[in-house]
C-alpha cells in the first residue's frame, strides 16, 4: 500500500469498529497516531495494542465531541503531543434514528453536533498548522445514506450530506497550500453491531449489494490510507464510495 512513514495522524472515534480499522491501516503504513474517543479505558487498551503490533509510540487523547471546548483543544493537543499534524480523519459519529414526524429536537441536535459541527471545528483548527507546513490530508467519513437518504435517518443523512458539501468548500480554500480534503462513504460494513443481526436481516441487506456481502473495516481503512498518502496529492474535494456496488454514484 502507500507509505505514511514520518507522518502523524489524528483519528476520531478511533476505538470503534470502523475507527479501529482506519487506525490499524494508517499505523501499518508507518504513521504515528493520536487516537481520540470518549472512552479513556478503551482508547488506552487499543493504543497499547497498536504500539505492540506496529510500534511508533502512538498516543490517546480523550475528547467528548459534543463539548465544543474539548473539540477546540483537540488539534492543539495533537500538535503538542506528536509535534505536528499531517492527517486528520474525521470518523466519529452517532445515530439517533427516528421517523421524521417523531424526531425530537435533542435527537437532531446531538447528531448535528457530533457528526457535523465537530468535524467543522477540527477542520478549521487543523488548517493553520497544515497551511504553515504546506501539507495536509483531511479525510472525513460520511455515508452512502448522505447521497441516497434512508428512512428513519433524516438527521443522520443530513449531517453526512453536509460533510460532503463542507469538504468540497474547504478543499477549494486550502488546495493551493498542499492540503487535500476528501470523503470516504461506506455502505454496509460488518461490525460488532451488524454481527448480532438475525441471519434473515443479514440476508436481506446482502441482497441489496451486488457483491452479495457487507464490506469489512479494512476496506474503509485502505481507502483512507490512500487518500492520506502523498500519492493522492492531486485528489481533492472528492467522495470515494466503498459500498460493494450497492449505490453506483458518480
Give the distance between the most distant pair of CA atoms in the chain. 53
Domain count, the chain: 1
Q: What does the pLDDT average to over 163-185?
A: 98
Closest-CA residue to 210 (of 248, 249, 250): 248
Instruction: Answer whether residue 65 is part of any domain.
Output: yes
The answer to whether 186 touches 143, Cβ cutoff 8 Å, is: yes
The span from the CA of 110 to the CA of 228, in Å, is 28
Separation between Cα atoms, residue 5 and residue 124, nearest integer Å: 25
Helix (H, G, I), strand (E, B) or coil at 61: strand
| Residue 249 within any structural domain of the chain | no
What is the percent of the chain where pLDDT is above 70?
Answer: 99
Q: Is residue 248 part of a domain?
A: no
C-beta of residue 37 within 8 angstroms of C-beta of residue 15:
yes
* Mean pLDDT on 21-43: 96
Whether 3 is covered by a domain: the verdict is no
- Look at residue 151 in the predicted model and tell me its pLDDT: 93
Strands (E), 13-156: 32-37, 59-62, 87-90, 136-141
Q: Residue 156 in contact with residue 150, Cβ under 8 Å?
A: yes
Write out pLDDT tens, residues 204-242: 889 999 999 999 999 999 999 999 999 999 999 999 999
Cα(10)–Cα(74) distance, integer angstroms? 9
Q: What 3-state DSSP class applies to 11?
A: strand
Q: What is the pTM of this model?
A: 0.95
Q: What are the residue numbers of the active site?
A: 156
Asked, for residue 99, whether it belongs to a domain, the answer is: yes
Cβ(220)–Cβ(120) below 8 Å:
no
Q: How far is CA 166 from CA 8, 148, 183, in A?
A: 23, 18, 10
Domain that holds residue 158: 8-240
Q: In the prediction, which pLDDT does 68 show?
A: 96
Given a cut of 90, whether residue 15 has pLDDT beyond it is no
For residue 4, pLDDT over 80 is answered with yes
Q: What is the DSSP string of 104-117?
A: -HHHHHHHIIIIII
User: Is 1 part of a structural domain of the chain?
Assistant: no
Instruction: Look at residues 108, 126, 109 and name the one whose alpha carbon lies nearest to residue 11.
Output: 126
**Which of these, 129, 219, 215, lies nearest to 178 by C-alpha position?**
129
Q: Is residue 192, in this structure, part of any structural domain at all?
A: yes
Q: What is the mean pLDDT of the chain?
A: 95
What pLDDT, in 10s, does the model give residues 105-150?
999 999 999 999 999 999 999 999 999 999 999 999 999 999 999 9
Tens digits of residue pLDDT in 179-207: 999 999 999 999 877 787 788 988 888 99
Question: Does the pLDDT of residue 1 top 70, yes or no?
Answer: no
CATH code assigned at 54: 3.40.50.720
> For residue 72, what are the contacts with CB-CB under 8 A and spacing of at least 6?
121, 125
* Beta strands at 87-90 and 136-141: parallel, antiparallel or unpaired: parallel
Nearest one of 47, 28, 31, 51 to 39, comparing CA atoms: 47
Confidence (pLDDT) at 137: 98
Domain assignment of residue 229, yes or no: yes
- For the record, the C-alpha cell of 68 comes out as 465544543
pLDDT at 99: 96
Amino acid at each position: 500500500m502507500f507509505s505514511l512513514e514520518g507522518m502523524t495522524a489524528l483519528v476520531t472515534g478511533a476505538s470503534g469498529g470502523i475507527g479501529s480499522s482506519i487506525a490499524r491501516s494508517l499505523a501499518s503504513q508507518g504513521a504515528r497516531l493520536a487516537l481520540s474517543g470518549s472512552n479513556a479505558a478503551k482508547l488506552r487498551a487499543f493504543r497499547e495494542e497498536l504500539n505492540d503490533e506496529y510500534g511508533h509510540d502512538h498516543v490517546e487523547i480523550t475528547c467528548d465531541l459534543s463539548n465544543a471546548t474539548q473539540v477546540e483543544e483537540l488539534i492543539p493537543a495533537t500538535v503538542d503531543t506528536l509535534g505536528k499534524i499531517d492527517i486528520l480523519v474525521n470518523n466519529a459519529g452517532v445515530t439517533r434514528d427516528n421517523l421524521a414526524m417523531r424526531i425530537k429536537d435533542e435527537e437532531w441536535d446531538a447528531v448535528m453536533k457530533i457528526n457535523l459541527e465537530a468535524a467543522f471545528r477540527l477542520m478549521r483548527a487543523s488548517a493553520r498548522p497544515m497551511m504553515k507546513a504546506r501539507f495536509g490530508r483531511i479525510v472525513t467519513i460520511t455515508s452512502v445514506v448522505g447521497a441516497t437518504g434512508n428512512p428513519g435517518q433524516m438527521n443522520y443523512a443530513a449531517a453526512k450530506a453536509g460533510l460532503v458539501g463542507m469538504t468540497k468548500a474547504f478543499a477549494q480554500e486550502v488546495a493551493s497550500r498542499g492540503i487535500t480534503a476528501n470523503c470516504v462513504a461506506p455502505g454496509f460494513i460488518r461490525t460488532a453491531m451488524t454481527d448480532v443481526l438475525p441471519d434473515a436481516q443479514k440476508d436481506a441487506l446482502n441482497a441489496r449489494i451486488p457483491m452479495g456481502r457487507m464490506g469489512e473495516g479494512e476496506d474503509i481503512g485502505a481507502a483512507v490510507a490512500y487518500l492520506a498518502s502523498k500519492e493522492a496529492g492531486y485528489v481533492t474535494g472528492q467522495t470515494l464510495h466503498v459500498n460493494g456496488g450497492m449505490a453506483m454514484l458518480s
